[in-house]
Amino acid sequence: MLILVVFIILSLTLYLFYKVRYVRTQLPMEKKWLSAKCSIALGLFVALFGANIFFVHLTAVGITIAIVFLLIGLSSAFTGYRAYRHYLPFAIEEAEAYKQMN
């Protein structure tokens, strides 16, 4: 499926984008917030890759691997989303304090 390939590439691109921003920032809460966004993007990448396997390999082994990838990817994305919601207010507060200092 072409649409899955597009979303796989998009999620991998977002992962790399957020990882570069994570490395470049100095603020600790922003680092945790960006790490959560990285986790969401990487989880979606793995889950979408697993979903793509369903359409490419219709064997017992392929379906088993696809299910494992889907479960790992969705759990990683869900955990990243929960961390994102947790760290977002702290990152906003930290950014406002950093603005006032400069």
> Domain boundaries in the chain?
2-101
Instruction: Quote the pTM value.
Output: 0.91
Structure tokens at 45: 């990448």
Q: Residue range 25-29: average pLDDT?
A: 93
CA dist list (Å): 68 to 10, 75, 79: 21, 11, 16
How many other CB atoms are found less than 10 A from the CB of residue 101? 6
Quick check: 101 pLDDT over 90? no
Quick check: 11 pLDDT over 80? yes
Number of residues that make up the chain = 102
